[in-house]
Amino acid sequence: MHKLRAFLDRLYLLSGIIASLFLVAILSLIVLQMLARWTGEVFPGAPDYAGYCMAAASFFAFAYALNRGSHIRVSILLNAVGVKMRRILNIWCFSIGAALAWYFVYYACRMVYWSWKFKDISQGQDATPLWIPQMAMVLGVTIFAIALTDHWLHLFIDGDHRINAEKIKATEPMPVAKEA
């Protein structure tokens, strides 16, 4: 079980690294497009490639962000209830989230399959086969579904999820300006 845990943690980290590489690719594409404009050249398809990279960065970042506690969670309700009710609410939330993620994986795989089967290409100047950028979405959302299922199972086994939320330290309240 320890090896599986280490593998999943490395998978989530790798997913975050891949997302960051796609962000660097977006920066590179924008810089190359600017250089092309300044020199009077044309870089066909650069906006399309940047869009593909943005989608890939988003989907690959989901699992990593979930493990780091970066997803938006309404913890005001979770903090207001007892431990038993918090566990029930967490199980309910992770059940819905995992079910929706696996549903998305299923239909995303079907979309990629049909794009490949019909040889669907992008409408831009690049004429990229659409199944290629769509695969990044499928891989990213599959890793995210695995992460949600992992946390869901961890709730059942250990009673708590494994999200490493960084705690924000409470500071003194800001002084209120007095009216003159």
Q: State which amino acid sits at residue 74.
A: V
In this predicted model, what pLDDT tens digit does every residue of 26-64 receive, in sequence order? 999 999 999 998 998 888 888 888 989 999 999 999 999
Q: Which of 55, 10, 20, 3 is nearest to 146 (CA)?
A: 10
Q: Are 65 and 15 in contact (CB under 8 A)?
A: no
State residue 178's pLDDT score: 58
In this predicted model, what pLDDT tens digit does every residue of 137-175 receive, in sequence order? 999 999 999 999 999 998 888 877 777 665 444 455 545
Give me the count of residues in the chain. Answer: 180
State residue 14's pLDDT score: 95
Is 80 exceeded by the pLDDT of residue 1? no
Is 90 exceeded by the pLDDT of residue 118? yes
Angle at 9 between CA 8 and CA 13, to 5 degrees: 115
Other C-beta atoms lying within 10 Å of the C-beta of residue 161: 22
Percent of the chain predicted with pLDDT > 90: 49
pTM: 0.82
Region 9-13 average pLDDT: 93
Per-domain boundaries in the chain: 2-158
State residue 18's pLDDT score: 96
Percent of the chain predicted with pLDDT > 70: 89
